[in-house]
Amino acid sequence: MLLVLLSSLMTPAEAQFKVVGYLPTWAGSVSDIQFSKLTHVNYAFLIPTSNGGYQSIENPSKLQSLVTAAHANGVKVLVSVGGGGGGDGFHGIVASATNRVNFANNMLAFANQYNLDGIDIDWEYPSDGTEANNFLLMMQQLSATMHNNGKLCTIAVIGNYGTHIVTGVFDTVDYLTIMAYDDNDYQHSTYNLAVECMNYWRGRGVPAAKAILGVPFYCRPTWETYAQLLAQGADPYSDTYNGKGYNGITTIKNKTNLAFDQGGGIMMWELSGDVSGQYSLVSAIHEVVVNRSGSGPVVTAPIGKTIWLQGNNALYVSSENGTKAMNCNRTVPQGWEQFIVGDAGNGKVTLQSMNKFVSSENGAQAMTCNRATAQGWEQFDWLVNADSTISLRGNNGLYVSSENGAQAMNCNRTSIQGWEKFKYGIVTATGTRVATAALNFVTGGTQGGIYPNPVQKGSALTVTVKQYNANAPVHVTVMDITGKTLAQYKTGTGTINIPVKYLPGTYLVKIENAGNSYVQKVIVK
């Protein structure tokens, strides 16, 4: 896992890969936003009036809370102006030089009032001809005003049609978010549509760094969110459910890779449609961002990875299988000493071993790993120390201590000393810090593994799942060495055969079952 530090001094174009999430005034909670996986949040919508003014923003306290939380996590916040039918006021604004100046000044004043980082324009859309040219004049006025005050100026554009956006606009804005969805009432946002949209805008002359690919967190034709579909039983890796078309994890990852190959970032409408945990679409995007270049947002915890923790006594933390208080006294990290790092939201993590969660016990007694669900006591801040060790802080504001292995672990320390520092290693066959005695799979046999390995192209690879849980489906993902998804399979059994149709080389196979995740390197000859 990479630790990437964002620069606080970005150029207006911002060279980093952008991860932009919209948060509407009417849906979603600031506390649910995974800020560590985003670079920008757009608060939607501020409604303009025809003379260059604006209507009062809905839910201003929510905007204030968003700005405070986002800035604390190094994430920029813009307000999105217009949106759907909310952009009718632009007709009057663009038609008058006075109104264009008023609008730019009012947007700057609004941005300053709420300590925003910029303005996003969403007008769907100006007419061709005179109004399109006047829209360019408005964007030039707004862009100059924002940039002169160190703020961003962006626009949202329709997928693969945009003659009303003249090419001069491209030079005035920091980037364009491309709404590659709502193409029809069923397969409204396919991968092929994303390719067409990127090709259209890039072909029009939009620089790659300014082309931000938009993805939906909802379905058509019912407009239900991804979260609602999963609650009904939809497959998080599929794109269809009972006649409804959406984007599951596989397509979202493939589109994020497309954005890396042809653009400068990815945008999502909108954040409240996501779920938390292993099926989160924001997390799926983040995984690709980290795997592709490490140029994403700040990463301080290996979310989704299986790790071991080692105290400064050089011994390993054990969950004790949830049968007694936790200890840091093991010489080898085996099953009870392996933990899946989960995303608890708002920068916090969970630790899960043997399908049970670690609890701080609020510092009132020794720590345990016996919780079926993750509540407040099962959530921790993952803190990186100057010496590259990590520390864990419970929601009681106190730190986890190894107790030097002399007694059960506690979460009751007021400061970080030696016993409150831990090294960690990712349990994977391809990681740089691996406990070789604790690999999740063995090659061959009935204990779980992948065989034969190496394997010949044109033959089949057999995957058997370690600690298989028959009450949950098995998802198998084949990736190239960069983490790009090549194929995915789903089965209701503990064994699956995969056709080997890939060129000779090194590949990664990820197996997920009942909350457990395993990765193994496979060589194709």
Fold that domain 18-293 belongs to in CATH: TIM Barrel (3.20.20)
Exposed, middle or buried by CB within 10 Å (0-12, 13-18, 19+), for 29? middle
Three-state SS string across 115-150, please?
CCCEEEEECCCCCCCHHHHHHHHHHHHHHHHHHHCC
Closest CA to 17 of 181, 218, 258: 258
Which pLDDT does position 467 carry in this prediction? 75
Cβ within 8 Å of residue 259, ≥6 positions away: 17, 198, 212, 213, 265, 266
Structure tokens at 517: 């995740």
Give the global pTM.
0.61
- What mean pLDDT value characterizes the chain? 86
CATH architecture of 305-426: Trefoil (2.80)
Cβ within 8 Å of residue 223, ≥6 positions away: none
The whole-angstrom separation of Cα 63 and Cα 113 is 11
Among positive and negative, which fits the CA dihedral 281, 285, 291, 297? negative
CA 461 from centroid of its chain's CA atoms = 31
Which pLDDT does position 464 carry in this prediction? 82
> Is-same-fold flag (18-293; 305-426)?
no
pLDDT (tens digit, 9 = 90+) per residue, 448-476?
A: 577 787 777 778 888 888 777 888 788 88
Which pLDDT does position 494 carry in this prediction? 80
The whole-angstrom separation of Cα 498 and Cα 421 is 42
pLDDT (tens digit, 9 = 90+) per residue, 215-255?
A: 999 999 999 999 999 999 999 988 999 999 999 998 999 99
Residue in this structure with the two tokens 């996986």, named with its chain if needed: 37
Mean pLDDT confidence for 62-69:
96
CB atoms within 10 A of CB 26: 11
Cβ within 8 Å of residue 201, ≥6 positions away: 157, 162, 176, 178, 211
Whether 495 shows a pLDDT value over 90: the answer reads no
Closest CA to 370 of 360, 382, 358, 379: 358
CA 169 from centroid of its chain's CA atoms = 29
Whether 313 shows a pLDDT value over 70: the answer reads yes
Q: In this structure, are residues 400 and 389 in contact, taking their beta carbons and an 8 Å threshold?
A: no
DSSP three-state, residue 400: strand
Which pLDDT does position 299 carry in this prediction? 42
Q: Could you give the C-alpha distances from 260 to 2, 7, 513, 521, in angstroms and in order?
A: 17, 20, 29, 24
The whole-angstrom separation of Cα 66 and Cα 77 is 8
Alpha helices for 19-77 (secondary structure H): 60-72
DSSP class of residue 458 equals T
73 or 211, which is more confident: 211
DSSP class of residue 191 equals H
Closest CA to 82 of 132, 126, 145: 126
The CATH number fitting domain 449-524, selected from 3.30.70.20, 2.60.40.1930, 1.10.1370.40, 1.10.760.10: 2.60.40.1930
Domain spans in the chain, listed from the N-terminal domain onward: 18-293, 305-426, 449-524
Whether 7 shows a pLDDT value over 70: the answer reads no
